[in-house]
Structure 1
Amino acid sequence: MKDRLTHAEIVRLDGQVTGLECGTMSVKTEGSPYGVTKGLLRSFRFQVNGTSLVLYSPESAIPFYGKVELPLADGDDVCLAIASEALDGQHLVYGLRHPADPRVFVAFAAGSLEFQPDRQMYYLPRLPRFWGKSRGWQASRFGVAAIMAFCLFNYLARGERVEHGLSAYVVMNSIVAVALAGYLLTIAYGALRWRLNLPTLRQRNLLAVLHALEVFDKSTIRAV
Structure 2
Amino acid sequence: MAKRPTTRKRPRPSSIGTSASTRPDAQEKLPDEVKDRLTHAEIVRLDGEVAGLECGTMWVKTEGSQYGVTKGLLRSFRFHVNGTSVVLYSPESAIPFYAKVGLSLANGDNVCLAIASEALDGQHLVYGFRRPADPRVFVAFAAGSLDFQPDRQMYYLPRLPRFWGKSRWRQAFRFGVAAVMALCLFRYLAHGERVEDGFSAYVVMNSIVGVALAGYLLTIVYGSLRWRLNLPTQRQRNLLAVLHVLEVRDKSTICAV
TM-score, length-scaled by structure 1:
0.96
Q: 2:63 aligns with which of 30, 39, 44?
A: 30
Corresponding residue for 2:18? none
Question: Deviations 1:137-186 (Å, cap 9, x if unpaired)?
Answer: 11011001100100000000001000111100000000000000000110
AA paired with 2:96?
P
Corresponding residue for 2:196? 163
Q: Is the 8 A contact 2:179 2:209 kept in 1?
A: yes
User: Alignment length, in residue pairs?
Assistant: 221
Residue aligned with 1:85, SS: strand
Q: Is the 8 A contact 1:30 1:114 kept in 2?
A: no
Shift of 1:201: 0.3
Question: Deviations 1:85-112 (Å, cap 9, x if unpaired)?
Answer: 0000000000010023211000001115
Would you say 1:138 and 2:171 are equivalent positions? Answer: yes
Distance 1:124 1:68, change over 3 A: same
Residue aligned with 1:184, SS: helix
Q: Provide the identity percentage.
A: 86
Q: Is the 8 A contact 1:58 1:68 kept in 2?
A: yes
Would you say 1:115 and 2:148 are equivalent positions? Answer: yes
Distance 1:36 1:112, change over 3 A: closer
**What is the distance in 2 between the residues matched to 1:114 and 1:95?**
18
Corresponding residue for 2:184? 151
Corresponding residue for 1:216? 249
Q: Is the 8 A contact 1:27 1:117 kept in 2?
A: no
Corresponding residue for 2:224? 191
Would you say 1:74 and 2:107 are equivalent positions? Answer: yes
**What is the distance in 1 between the residues matched to 2:228 and 2:123?**
34
**1:169-184 aligned within 5 A:** 169-184=202-217
Structure 1's unaligned 5+ residue stretches are none
Question: Deviations 1:45-75 (Å, cap 9, x if unpaired)?
Answer: 0000000000000000000000001131110
Q: Is the 8 A contact 2:147 2:155 kept in 1?
A: no
Question: Deviations 1:6-56 (Å, cap 9, x if unpaired)?
Answer: 00000000000000000000111138xxx9411100000000000000000
Residue aligned with 1:155, SS: helix
**What is the distance in 2 between the residues matched to 1:181 and 1:109?**
26
AA paired with 1:50?
G
Corresponding residue for 2:157? 124
Residue aligned with 1:86, SS: strand
**What is the distance in 2 between the residues matched to 1:179 and 1:112?**
24
Q: Which shows bigger deviation, 41-50 or 108-117?
A: 108-117
Q: Which shows bigger deviation, 189-198 or 104-113?
A: 104-113
**What is the distance in 2 between the residues matched to 1:89 and 1:17?**
17
Shift of 1:136: 1.0
CA RMSD of aligned residues (A): 1.3
**What is the distance in 2 between the residues matched to 1:159 and 1:73?**
66
Residue aligned with 2:211, SS: helix
TM-score, length-scaled by structure 2:
0.84
Distance 1:170 1:113, change over 3 A: farther
Runs of 4+ aligned residues of structure 1 deviating over 6 Å after TM superposition are none
Shift of 1:133: 1.1
